[in-house]
Structure formats: structure tokens, C-alpha cells
Amino acid sequence: MAGYLRSGANRDLLKIILINIYNVLKGSPMYVCICNAIREKELRKLACQIPGNAEDVYTAIGTPPQCGQCLDQAEAILNDARAAKNIPACIPH
């Protein structure tokens, strides 16, 4: 385990997991992106306002992805929020 935590990316991922476990246990909103302090609730709201993938949404609000470890989870949240409201990921012009 000690060797696994030597990698900065692995430490960051562990930090995200531990923060989210703590927040879930105390009933607080879950952070999806630690680098940019973006919470799940914010992403769900943005999904209805900004078309595109997670990178597009992050960039549109002025916080482009940093390490990128959150993008898969952010993408899943955006897709889920849009599906719940029947909003396509990309709105044709």
C-alpha cells in the first residue's frame, strides 16, 4: 500500500475518495472535482444549462480540468442529469 501512495495521482484519488466518504456520512454534498471544487449538485444544475461533455462544461464555467481524474464521474453525472430531464448532451445549432 505504501508504494501505491507514492504516486501523486494515486494520493489525489485517495484524497477524493476519502473526502467524498466523509461528506456522504455527514450528509454534505459530494465533491466531484477537488482541483476546481465542483460539487455534484453544481454539475447537475450545469448539465441543464451547458451542452457538451464534462470538459466543455468545466471550461464554460471558467475552470478547465486540471488532473482529469474526475472527468469520467463528471460525465456520468452530466449524462444522468440530462437523461432525467430529456436533454441531449449536445444541442444542435
What pLDDT sits at residue 21?
A: 77
Q: What is the pTM of this model?
A: 0.66
Domain 4-84, CATH number (from 2.60.40.10, 1.10.10.10, 2.40.50.140, 1.10.10.1100): 1.10.10.1100
**Torsion angle in degrees (nearest 10) through CA of 59, 33, 81, 58:** 0
What pLDDT sits at residue 24?
A: 67
What residues does each domain of the chain span? 4-84
Positive or negative, the CA dihedral 72, 39, 48, 57 is negative
For the beta carbon of residue 54, count every other beta carbon within 10 angstroms.
25
The predicted-structure confidence for 6-60, as pLDDT tens digits, reads as follows 666 677 778 777 776 776 676 666 889 989 999 998 999 999 999 999 999 999 9
